Chains A and B, each alone.
Chain A
Amino acid sequence: MMTPLYKYGFFGEEFSLLVAFVLGLGFGFFLERAGFGSARKLAAQFYLYDMSVFKVMFTAIVTGMLGVTYLGWIGWLDLDLVYLVPTFLGPQIVGGLVLGVGFVVGGYCPGTSVAALATGRIDALVYALGIFTGTFAYAEVYPSIKDLVNANPMGQVTLPEVFGLPWGLVVFAVVVIAVVGFWGATKIELWAGSRP
């Protein structure tokens, strides 16, 4: 059997929503288990004395990357069918900065705020209201910033395509970057923790 299951029509739209619900529960559970239901823990990332966010995210990247690489290699997953979020380089850099500022100010990112809200945190409730307000405001101003939002479209691209490198080499490089990053992150935590 080949995956992605939905693209191959093994189940329909309704069932895919159910699958998404189960995956979402798992996602929320592990965010909470990682301590990401707490704004303190998340904000600590930006003050460098707790690099958990960096480590968890990079672990997820490496695990997912190795997973799809090997599944694709043995022929269980058709990587050409996997949906990729299209790249808009400039707008996404700006969007990333906006998200980062919101992250350190509010103490959550959108996903963790929902997990924190589920555990009854009031700051997460305020954050979630902010998300809705922001979404609404964005939709209202969208027509006037449309060209900006859709600037330099690159389509569904991957790093091997952009840099013209073999797939395996990029996988290897990302793993090395992650391991060196983990080592460096631990050093930074020790350094930041020892500051007065």
Chain B
Amino acid sequence: MNLRQFTLNRKLAMLAVALGTLALLAQPHRGPFVKLDARELASVVEEEVDHVTASELATWIVEGRADYRLLDLRTAEGYAAYHIPTAENVPLTGLADYPLLRNEKLVLYSEGGIHSAQAWMLLRAQGYEAVYMVLGGLDAWKDEVLFPSLPADADAAARAQFERATQVAKFFGGEARVAGGAAPPTVGAELPKLAAPPPMPAPATPIAKKKKKEGC
């Protein structure tokens, strides 16, 4: 058979048919079974791309970003007392049954960081790829975002950054502190009152999601 007797369009059509036929065998979705790549996970941890800092998260919330879901892994009581704005309460034990989609970016936090790290591993093992932890958990949120403090010997750059952090702290109902005071920032610090705890946001359904603009 001489291929030259066909026009380019026909050749492309034949290629498409060949690839389409081969695709009958394709399995592009992994199904319910997942394989854990221990080396990949280790390198994710090593390269520190498995977390966001509390300050980064604060910036996202201020900017009103909606491309991720923030999950509070603490108990319902802890959540009711205080939680990072926009967070959904998912106690660790309920994680398996909680309606999450594998194509969502999930940001986890707990009191310190241990529970969120464990949940991170559980979710990764179930094939949730875009899972991140808030580094240092709620403790870091208090220290960095709600009650940031400025060391006495800070240079100009640090001072400029602190100015910004002060605004962010005010946004979240916290208060910046200039060091020199004897008390470490979080001790005795009153957490912002959640006057009326906002109702827990309903699990995001595909409908509620921000629509993307796509067209022909």
Q: Which residues of A contact B (CB under 8 A)?
A: 2, 7-9, 13, 57, 62, 66, 68-73, 77-83, 85-86, 109-112, 150, 153, 155-156, 166-169, 171-172, 174-176, 178-179, 182
In Å, the complex CA distance between A110 and B216 comes to 7
In Å, the complex CA distance between A109 and B215 comes to 9
In Å, the complex CA distance between A86 and B20 comes to 26
B196 within 8 A of A: no
In Å, the complex CA distance between A7 and B20 comes to 28
In Å, the complex CA distance between A111 and B20 comes to 28
Partner of A156, one of B25, B129, B206: B206
Question: In the complex, what residues of A have CB within 8 A of residue B132's CB?
Answer: 9
Question: In the complex, what residues of A have CB within 8 A of residue B215's CB?
Answer: 109-111
Q: Which DSSP category, helix, strand, loop or mixed, fits chain B's interface?
A: loop
Cβ B27 vs Cβ A175 within 8 A: no
Question: In the complex, what residues of A have CB within 8 A of residue B25's CB?
Answer: 168
A73-B26, A85-B211 known; A175+B20 contact, CB < 8 A: yes
Task: Render B19-31 as a binary contact track against A, CB cut-off 8 A, 1 for contact.
Answer: 1110111111110
Beyond contacts A86-B209, A168-B25: 4 other A-B pairs, Cβ-Cβ < 8 A, are A72-B28, A156-B103, A176-B17, A179-B13
* Closest B residue, CB atoms, query A183: B13
Task: Render B90-123 as a binary contact track against A, CB cut-off 8 A, 1 for contact.
Answer: 0000000000011101000000000000000000
B214 within 8 A of A: yes
Cβ B207 vs Cβ A86 within 8 A: yes
A8-B130, A78-B129, A175-B20 known; A70+B26 contact, CB < 8 A: yes
Partner of B29, one of A9, A13, A167, A174: A167
* Closest A residue, CB atoms, query B29: A79
* Closest A residue, CB atoms, query B49: A9
B154–chain A nearest beta-carbon distance, Å: 27
Cβ B28 vs Cβ A79 within 8 A: yes
B16 within 8 A of A: yes
B193 within 8 A of A: no
A7-B105, A168-B25 known; A83+B212 contact, CB < 8 A: yes
Nearest first, the 10 A-B pairs at minimum CB distance are A72-B28, A175-B20, A155-B206, A171-B23, A168-B24, A81-B103, A73-B26, A153-B207, A80-B102, A168-B26
